[in-house]
Amino acid sequence: MVLAENLVLVFLAGLVTALATGIGAVPFFFVEEFGDRWNVVLWGVASGIMVAASLFGLVDEGLANSAEGFPTLVVAGALAGVALVEIADWVLDRVDFSNNSESNVDDSDNVDRPLEAKAFAEGDLKTLTLILGILTVHSFPEGVAIGVSFADLGLEGGVAVAGFTIPVLAVFMTIAISIHNVPEGTAIAIPMRAMGMSNWRMVGAAVFSSLPQPIGAVIAFVFVTWAREFLPFGFGFAAGAMIYLVLTEFIPEAIKTGDDLPYSGAVELGLGVVSGVLLMAPLLYI
């Protein structure tokens, strides 16, 4: 019974982060579009949050739970996380969705549209199912980060919430990933706005892109609960995957977005990264 309650709690934490992605589309209820400068700043904030949460939270916890000597499991986990991201990108680059539906959307413009945006525009269930499979791999590290951060659920030293003693790290990771998901939701909503889609459909597409996170959170929590000796591996896996995502996707996306800004948006990106790190500074005191 206790395990079931814990699983529900971890799932809800992951669901909160997924729903937070939809917040990224909410500003389009009030404005037509965001300027490149603000988009670069948002990508920078997301990057700073993920790096700080990974280093000061996940890596630190992984080292603390490792045996004396070289942290083999933490390093192995980090490498596995990097490998998962690479595999997800490899699959995404090679899956052909062109024959899965007939497009009803005008392609006369040159807007760069995420696959999930096009699938939502076309209402293609088969394509959405395929995309969800790929997103399950791609969003999995964020879910894993939430799941492993709940490893000490119920132990002393946590935060009392609704009858649960939640680890402080779990609270920070849930908040960090929720904040980080907001600009991801905005990035998905931008091309959908250009396609003339409804506001609520943009919110739905943004949330859809993060649905694998609560699933990953539950799987990771069960794994580290039943095999606590592999807890350092779990922390390393989540940290390695998220830092690698920042370096290979978030930063390049920010640079691409700021291409027309002075210094290619380096100032805005730097300010965003520093803001994100400072926002997560309390992790230093866990």
* Domain containing residue 37: 2-285
Q: What's the mean pLDDT in 7-28?
A: 91
CA-to-CA distance for 240 and 233, rounded, in angstroms? Answer: 10
CA dihedral 168, 184, 234, 135 (to 10 degrees): 140
**Inter-residue contact 54 to 211 (CB < 8 Å):** no
| Residue 105 pLDDT exceeds 80 | no
Across residues 169-182, what is the average pLDDT?
A: 86
Q: Which of these, 73, 41, 42, lies nearest to 58 by C-alpha position?
A: 73
72-87 average pLDDT score: 90
Contact (CB, 8 A) for 40 and 263 = no
For residue 100, report the phi and psi dihedrals to the nearest 5 degrees: -85, -15
pLDDT at residue 112, as a whole number: 46
Q: Measured between alpha carbons, how far is 150 from 54 in angstroms, rounded to an integer?
A: 15
Q: Is the separation of the CB atoms in 62 and 77 below 8 Å?
A: yes
CA dist 94 and 234 (Å) reads 28
State the pLDDT confidence band at 176, using cuts at 50, 70 and 90.
Answer: confident
Dihedral sign, Cα of residue 125, residue 126, residue 131, residue 136? positive
3-state SS string over the chain? CHHHHHHHHHHHHHHHHHHHHHHCCHHHHCCCCCCHHHHHHHHHHHHHHHHHHHHHHHHHHHHHCCCCCCCHHHHHHHHHHHHHHHHHHHHHHHCCCCCCCCCCCCCCCCCCCCHHHHHHHHCCHHHHHHHHHHHHHHHHHHHHHHHHHCCCCCCCCCEEECCEEECHHHHHHHHHHHHHHHHHHHHHHHHHHHCCCCHHHHHHHHHHCCCHHHHHHHHHHHHHHHCHHHHHHHHHHHHHHHHHHHHHHHHHHHHHHCCCCHHHHHHHHHHHHHHHHHHCHHHHHC
3-state helix, strand, coil in the chain (%, to 5): 75, 0, 20
Arithmetic mean of pLDDT over the chain: 79
Highest mean pLDDT among 1-15, 113-127, 128-142: 1-15
Q: How many separate domains does the chain show?
A: 1
Q: Where are the beta strands (DSSP E) in 35-129?
A: none
Residue 165's pLDDT band, with cuts at 50, 70 and 90, is confident
Tokens standing for residue 41: 């700043």
